[in-house]
Structure 1
Amino acid sequence: MNGFHPAAGVSVRAVEAADHAAIATVVDTAFAAAAHADGTEAALVAELRAAGGIACEWVAVEGTAPVGHIAFSAVTLDGRDCNWFGLAPLAVAPAYQGRGIGARLVRTGLAALQARGAGGCVVLGEPAYYARFGFAALPVLVCAWPVPPQYFQALAWQPLACAGIVRYHPLFGSV
């Protein structure tokens, strides 16, 4: 920590249309140095929005300026809609990273999904980071993409009614 407390000046709220351009900048800068990024993350968010593929999204703002963003979209489990969602992407502007903003975005988004009765959520990400929210590898859920299994994690809020291959919105991987 660098002395900044996220509650001091940074709040989390639902995304508004006026936030879209600034969110694209946050996503671009957050993923610019990431080894796993391909530079299409901001375009993916815009395409998902345009296609109605984002189930919910949240923005962290300092004053009125977006400094972080998270989106969730529906996923299918073995080809079926089981009321599960995928967390992607999570982005925090580099100058704001390491201050708990990403964690606040994740907790806010997960609470919103739970409140709407979601069965669970999956994420493709760093196991040590996402474990703090309850995510863990579930062998009965397999990512459609070839990834090391420990990086594909799930958080179930209801007993699993579906299992098998998890597929994200078709725009993932095509933008």
Structure 2
Amino acid sequence: MRFLLPRVLSTGRQALLQQPAFHASLAQRCSFLPAIQIAPASFKTHAGYKPNPSEKPVNPNVRNKIHEKKRPIKRPFVPPPTKTEEELIAALPYIIRRTPYAQLPIYRKFMSGGNRCIILIKKVDGDRSKLVEDLTTALGLERKDIRLNPTTQQVEIKGNHFEKALDWMLQTGF
């Protein structure tokens, strides 16, 4: 309770300094009070409230950033698949289906403030572990750098191997 004492005294002093609506009649009734210089103060100025938003400090890192909605989405042109689905199903135990806009479902995800990059391959049907083995041999990576997410069933490649994985998918016929 001791920590509330300065706040109570401050608000009580503030209440005495504020000009009440019935000021004249109160001054006449309380003639024993010394003449108080009434200041036009309010709680907002007393508590340190800054009504002007231009006085608010600005983060210097925010100035140079482009808002997410204003960033251009640049995807390279992806040629149409060279093989049909029937040919791919007959040749491989898995298939990677394209998005509704005929793009390959391969995405680059930056983490840890842009220091770490992960490549995601989505929309995989069939034997996903065979796809992980084929990617390991085709991209020349170690097995520990490619993992199959057990929850989402997406293939995650550690490192920025976006171009290599995209070229391999196009050469395979997806």
For this structure pair, what is the TM-score category when the shorter chain's length is used for normalisation?
under 0.3
Larger helix share, 1 or 2? 2
TM-score by length of structure 1 reads 0.27
Larger Rg: 2
Larger strand share, 1 or 2? 1
